A and B are shown apart, each in its own frame.
Chain A
C-alpha cells in the first residue's frame, strides 16, 4: 500500500525519491494518472485522410487512432476481442478496415466487428457481433492535437488544458496553426517517465551546465548560457504552472534558440514579422511571449520545446524505462526553407542523435537507476528554487514564477501529480478547482 500523502511536500518543494523507482507507485500511476488524464495521440497533419491510421500508446496500452469517414477521429485499443492478438501491425497507413492476423476477424474503420470467417457454420447464432467491436477510447482535439482519455467522467480536453491554453495558443494558433513533421523517431531510455517530464516542464537551471559543450559549439541565443558563464538577468524569462500541472519555462526573445548564422537570422526574421499578427489575432499580452523559447510539458507525459521545436511523448514502460516518441514541430505558415532549417536544428539538438538529447538522457537514467540502492532511494528530491516568489498571473490566470531560472513548474507538476494519485474520481478533482493555488502560494 502506497502512502500517497508522503510522496510530495508541495509547500516545501520536495518529493520522495522513490517516485522514480517504486513498482507499487508506478502501478498506481498507471491507474490514477494514465487511466484518467488526457494523453497525446496524434495530430491532424499525421492522419489527414479518411482511413488514415496511426498506432501509439496511452500509458502502456497500445491504441490505433483512425480518421473516420465523416472526418472525425476515433481511437481503439489495438487488440482483437476474440483472443487478444494485435490487430494492426503497421505503425501508420491508410486502410479500409482492420483484420486480425490470428483468425481473420475483420473490423471496420469505426471499430465495429464486421465479419467473422465461417460465422454461421462455426458459431451459429451464438456470437453477439455488435458487442465485440474493438474497444473504443474517448478522444478530443485542441487546435488539431488529438488526445485520448480512458475516463468517461474526465473533464473535457479544453477544461483539462484550462488556463494553460493561453500559452498553447501562442504557437498552436498565433500564426495560423502548428503541424508535426512525422513519423516520430522512437527510442528507449532506461529512466522513469517523470524524469524527462519534470526537466522539460521547468528546468532552465540545467541548460547552461548539462549542455555546456553543445551550447558552446552551436551558438545562437541560448549559446550565451554555455558553462554557466551568464545567469539570465532579471526579466529575462518566467516560469508558469497551471491547474493540472502543465507548465512552461520561458526565455524571452530566444526563439531562434540554437540556430546560428543564416538559419538563425531566418528564424529571427520570421518571429519579428509575425509578432504583430499574433498581437492582432490573440492579444498584445500573448504576442509578448511569441518568439521566445519555451520548455514545457502537458501533464502527464507530453513535452515540447518551442524554438528548438521538438514535440515528445514519454511513454512509460515500467517504473524505470520509457519509450520516447519525437517529432519536429513547425508553424504551418512558415516558408518551406525555414521548416527544413527548423527540422534540421531539431534533429541536431533533440532528435535521436541530438547533441542535447544525449546529455539529458544520461542524467535521467542515473537519477532513476541509482535508486536500486535502498539508501540512495531514501529521502527526498529538492525543487525549492524560487520558493515563495510566485504569484497569480493576472494575464493568463496561472501561477507565475518571475525569473527565467527557478523550480515553480516542478512544484506545480508534482502538486498535480499528488492530487491525481489521491483523488478517487474526477468529481473530487473538479471540487479542488477553486483551491489548487493555495498550497503553491502558501496561503
Chain B
C-alpha cells in the first residue's frame, strides 16, 4: 500500500467518524492533532471532504421530490459506527489477528509488511518477521513488541499515554512518530518527531531512563543504552523499510547482508572476513537479492555462488 493510500484511507475513516452524531470535543481534538501531525494529512482530508460534501445535496433533492415515508432526523445523527472496533486492518493482508490475554495479536511473515490503523487513530507499520500485541482498551494504550520492528505514529492524548514494551525496556510517548526494533534483548529506538522516554524496567532507577528527541537513535543491550543524536534525515533512512528500501551509508557488508537476510528466505553468507569488512552505501530494494548480488559481482568483483536457498559471497 502506498503512502498516498495509507493517508487517504485514514482521512476517509476520520471523515466517516466526523459525520457521526456522537462527535465530541475530545474527538475534534484528536482529529486536530492528526491533521497537524502532517501537512499531507491535512490536504488529504480537505480534498476528500470537499468532494464528499458535494454529494450532500442529493439528500435535499430527494426530500423535495419524494414524500418521506417517515420523518428522518438529520443525516449525521445516524452514523454510529462500531466504536468497539479494537483495530482496523488497513493493509488487509493475510494475517488474522487473534485475541490473546495481552491484547490483539498482529504478526507478519518474513518479507511481509503490514499497516494497522488503531481505534484511537494511531498507526503502526509492522516490518518483516514481526510479532506484536496491542491493547487500547485500558487507561494506557499498550503495545508489546515480542520480536521484529515496527514504526508508530501516535495520536496525541495526554490522558492516555502510549507505551511500547520491548523486552527489558519501555518506550513511553504522548504523541509522536518513532520506530522500535527488537532482536532478542537488544532494542533500538529511532525518533522521527516529538519526544519519547526510554525506561529500563529491570533497573528501574532514574538514571536508567533516557529522553529521546527527534533525530535520536538509541541502542540498548546488556551493557546499557547508547544514544546517538543523528538527524531527522538519518532516522528517515533508518525507516527506509517502510518504502521497501534498505539504506546503507558506510555500512559493512556483514551488516548489509544481515539486513537482507531479515527480509528474504534466501540467505546470504559471507565466506571471507576481509569481504565482510567492505563498506558499502546506497539505497536498495529489500526483496531484491539478485539485484544486490549482481552489484557485488559487477562493482566489487566478488564471487557469488547459489546453492538452493543459500548464497555464498567470496573473493
Pair from one complex: no
| A residues neighboring B (CB under 8 Å) | none
